[in-house]
Structure 1
């Protein structure tokens, strides 16, 4: 199963999602990430956070969704459409869900504020990835409507408080 984490710039949130997912996923599941308008470079704070978590970024790059090495089975958009950010729409016969995340690279303030934003984003991604991997995937693959509902539910999880948002 191939999961595509899709965003606009493919430098921060989608890269964090790809790294966390691949670090936790069992054999046979693989995440990739891409952007509709790739930034061309990984955000240094995202890379540093993944490295602190023991997650390799070897082979990761900011790339276009036109350059995918595989066809995804599931597409997860991670842009913050609630914040007025345009979310790319992947066209293709795949299961789609939205796990919106505020972009920590846009946080202004002290170094501590910025680090806290990256840590919060990472915590949400971690919680959502764990929830995804806890799903009865073999059972859900035969029921696309239920699978989509579960993926959409996961997209509301907020790690640091356990709250849901709409």
Structure 2
């Protein structure tokens, strides 16, 4: 008997940076245990080049990413999600579609690196910080004994992960 492979959807408003970064991290680090997806409530239609550059520098996959609407994952033909994580505060406050299968949800907000204005160094640092914070959260997810926890304990664990270092607290930006 094979182990269940969990489907995870990372949501942001624009689906250009944080959700793409999280999808790539889980795609590589959780390979064989997790399928990773990302989407946005109001996708901008392009992936931020700094997100791609950051992923490349850390050796994470960059192929096939596109900015897409979360409605793609709400239809009857969409993969059934086990987990849905919002990674920006705006998406967390929006009315989400009804996800098939009633996945567990949590808010894992980090500051929007795409909102940083300034020098090249400041922009690169913002993307590196977002990558580091998202990879930290994903590493905790990967270390969580999902099958051994009841729903309440798992829900609490997922929320605790969202409060790890780098958590945004109500700063409304879009990526």
Normalised TM-score (structure 1): 0.88
* Correspondence list, 1:47-66, <5 A: 47-66=52-71
Distance 1:150 1:63, change over 3 A: same
Match of 1:151 among 130, 144, 158: 158
Bigger relative contact order, structure 1 or 2 (CA pairs below 8 A, ≥6 apart): 2
User: Secondary structure of the equivalent of 2:88?
Assistant: coil
Deviation of the 1:13 alpha carbon: 0.4
The gaps in structure 2 that reach 5 residues or longer are: 1-5, 170-175
Match of 1:74 among 58, 72, 83: 83
Deviation of the 1:114 alpha carbon: 1.0
- The CA deviation string for residues 117-140 of structure 1, in whole angstroms up to 9 with x for no partner, is 111111101111101100112212
8 Å CA contact retained: 1:7, 1:88: no
- The CA deviation string for residues 77-123 of structure 1, in whole angstroms up to 9 with x for no partner, is 00135xx9854534231111000111100001111111111111111
* Correspondence list, 1:4-153, <5 A: 4-68=9-73, 69-81=78-90, 86-87=93-94, 89-92=96-99, 93-140=102-149, 143-153=150-160
Distance 1:86 1:33, change over 3 A: same
Partner of 2:172: none
Give the CA RMSD over aligned residues: 1.9
Distance in 1 (CA, whole Å) between partners of 2:38 and 2:119 is 29
The gaps in structure 1 that reach 5 residues or longer are: none
User: Secondary structure of the equivalent of 1:57?
Assistant: coil
Deviation of the 1:26 alpha carbon: 3.7
Q: How many residues align?
A: 158
